[in-house]
Amino acid sequence: MENAYRPELWRDLYVMLGTSSAALIGLLFVVTSLHLNEVVSKPVFRTRAYNQTLYLLILLVEAVLVLLPQPVAILGAEMVAINLLGLWLPLNNIYNYFYKNKEASRSGGWAISRAIRYIVAFLFGLAGSAALIEHANWGMYLMTASYVFLLIAIVLNAWAIMLGIGQLEQTTKAS
């Protein structure tokens, strides 16, 4: 059976996805620097902006690895490691916000639903990565679905951060 990981078929898609991730990293830095006082003063915004940067860096590295000429099993192993790292971030946030610092989760709009989105996406990435190690045809499709889902979740979370900062600025101006 034909292997679905034929780099020439995935090249354009992952060039576009990697470029999108890199551009969003730059935009996140610009927005964060423009509203630095608000981000620094609210731990939830600071943590979310930091995590969004990490998620985007993970996606950028994934795009680089897919574009790198290498055996499919090696790609799968690398992606397992990256997705495990990515999975650790929302699990760590759940622990920190719900068990160590419950008050921080109440102020600033931290929600378990955001963490679940990331967990599900990284689990899809892990499944796709494991499939690639086994040379399964559908592994790249799961990895790509994971990537796109993560990119959408990051954009939605960035939007939520911007709304939160906007509300904070309006409250500050009204006072």
Would you say residue 64 lies in a domain? yes
- Decide if 86 contacts 122 (C-beta within 8 A): yes
- Mean pLDDT, the chain, as a whole number? 85
Weakly modelled stretches of the chain, pLDDT under 50: 1
Q: How far apart are CA 175 and CA 169, in angstroms?
A: 10
Task: Pick the closest to residue 142 from 78, 76, 95 (CA basis).
Answer: 76
- Residue 133 to residue 74: CA distance in whole angstroms: 7
DSSP 103-127: HHHHTTT--HHHHHHHHHHHHHHHH
Q: Whole-model pTM?
A: 0.85
pLDDT value for 127: 97
Question: What number of CA atoms fall less than 13 Å from residue 53's CA on the CB side?
Answer: 13
The count of structural domains within the chain is: 1
In a domain, 66, yes or no: yes
* Cβ-count burial 33-65 (b if 16+ within 10 Å, e if not): eebeebbeebebbbbbbebbbebbebbbbbbeb
Question: 1 in a domain, yes or no?
Answer: no
* Domain contains 109: yes
Buried/exposed code over 68-80 (b: 16+ C-beta within 10 A; e: otherwise): eeeebeebbbbbb
User: Is residue 25 in a domain?
Assistant: yes
Is 2 inside any structural domain?
no
Amino acid at 152: I
Contact 65, 78 (CB under 8 A): yes
Answer yes or no: is 90 within a domain. Answer: yes
Taking alpha carbons only, the member of 42, 22, 19, 56 closest to residue 162 is 42
pLDDT (0 to 100) of residue 84: 97
Amino acid letter, 66 = V
The domain in which residue 22 lies consists of: 7-174
108 in a domain, yes or no? Answer: yes
At 20-52, the pLDDT tens digits run 999 999 988 888 777 777 777 777 777 888 888
